[in-house]
A and B are shown apart, each in its own frame.
Chain A
Amino acid sequence: MRHRITLLPLILSLAACRQDMHNQPRYKPLAGTGFFGDGRSARPSPEGTVARGELHIDKARYTGKVDGNDVTAFPFPITRADVSRGQQRFNIYCSPCHSRLGDGNGMIVRRGFRQAANYNTDKLRNAPVGHFFDVITNGFGAMPSYASRIPPDDRWRIVAYIRVLQFSQNAKLEDAPPAERQELEAMPVTPSPAPSPTPQKEVSR
């Protein structure tokens, strides 16, 4: 009996090495499995099903097109908060190639990716908003679809920010408010610098 009592702590300390509770019979997101043939625990949705919140009836809002033509107006009113969110999302997903100025010379292009579109051309300045939405959704040329990474409403906010970039890159001194105009006039003229690779501060949401 006495031996059993002295052995007890040893048995308990060995029992603590078991990982039953650490590794329970359930899957973490994207964990592998031997149960399904393709080795994935994350299952694709069965054909013909619509996930909750994914029933996209409003064609203009979810495809950027009506009867095959790009829509010319935003499907919801764009507020300042939407533009800020658009800026943030643009800097995350678009600026690697299109650059933070939208001139198409982002870091990935400088590393050898095919030249990305410059938004500051007459063709794209005059393009309807639905065109940009469609390109984000379905890709264009070497650009892949960003539909799985950017939810539809954020795509519209990015389009709104592209409009901001187009305006800012083509703005004249008279477009600035008087107070800022004076400040701008006082600044020495320098060639515009290359976009900085270090992340800039984001506008807070």
Chain B
Amino acid sequence: MTSSTPASAWSRDDTGITVTVSGAWITSRLDQVGWPKAERSDIAGQVVVVDFQKIETLDSNGALVLHRWIEQLRKSAATVELRHPPAFYERITDAYAQSRTGATSPPTGRWGDSLAEIGHRAIDLAKATLHLLSFQGQIAVKLAQTLVRPRQLRAKSVVHHMQAAGVSALPIVGLLSFLLGVVTAYQGADQLARFGAQIFTVNVVGIGVLREMGALITAIVVAGRSASAFAAQIGTMKINEEIDAMRVIGLDPITVLVIPRVLALCLMFPFMVIFADALGILGGAIMATLALDISFGQFLRQFQTGVPILHFWVGLSKAPLFAMAIAAIGCQQGLMVGQDAASVGIRTTAAVVQAIFFVIVIDAGMSIFVSILGV
């Protein structure tokens, strides 16, 4: 580019001040503008003439910046006279003047705004909780309807989600559970060895994995993998207006999108928990054989006598609850996506955080419930 720097030069004679603007007043060069250094008192009450003749090129942003500077001059000078302004300059300033009419300034903050904000948030939170509850109710009703009329069920979709959310998660669930079994066995043995009660490591691993950790680790992995996937899938469909299209065609989004996901997860979750249980105990057993002088046979014998089957059932009883909570929260957050890309991210994050939160709340609730029952 050969255009020259936008500049302005002052000259003073007895009639007043002349400002000669020159160079290329184009967007890419506006940061190089050489504004004349003039004290406000210098121009006060003077006649200022702005001469446009030496301008090489002018674009609309250049004209606007120049216009705003001339407006500044007008505040202190007696009169500002424009000499040879190009027609283009006047077109732009006219358009700008039009844009100013009817423009309103944004509302300013008031006292008590932050207090009101806290109130609004509390109300929003209450509404969100209510929404979650009513959504669970909606799912329950639709699920019951589907059981009465199985033809409504999207079997293909259920199988697809069983594969995507269940079978595909098995490797990571298995690996994590195995490692947890190893860690529990090692830590447990370390403490129990002080009493010479190393053999009870088997009980620690067995009860810990079966009753708590198998179900919990499965739930956390599924919350991370599938709650987020459900929210993002349904949210993107919402942005594309696919959900609206479904409603118009007469399909119920809950029956078509939510029920298959909830059902798939509810069907797969118990098997995933059993898989996690098996691998967790295998991890403990391998650790015990390799590092703790407990042979595999000893481990099995102790496991049979020391770990009642009841613990397995307690752990497994949480599976449908976890599955229901995770799938419902993921789908619900997906349906709450707004119209913009950012809200997909916000809702996906909320889905994972809420799912893990509720998994742990349910787990705590179940512990209390089971202890009241005395099992």
The answer on A and B forming one complex is no
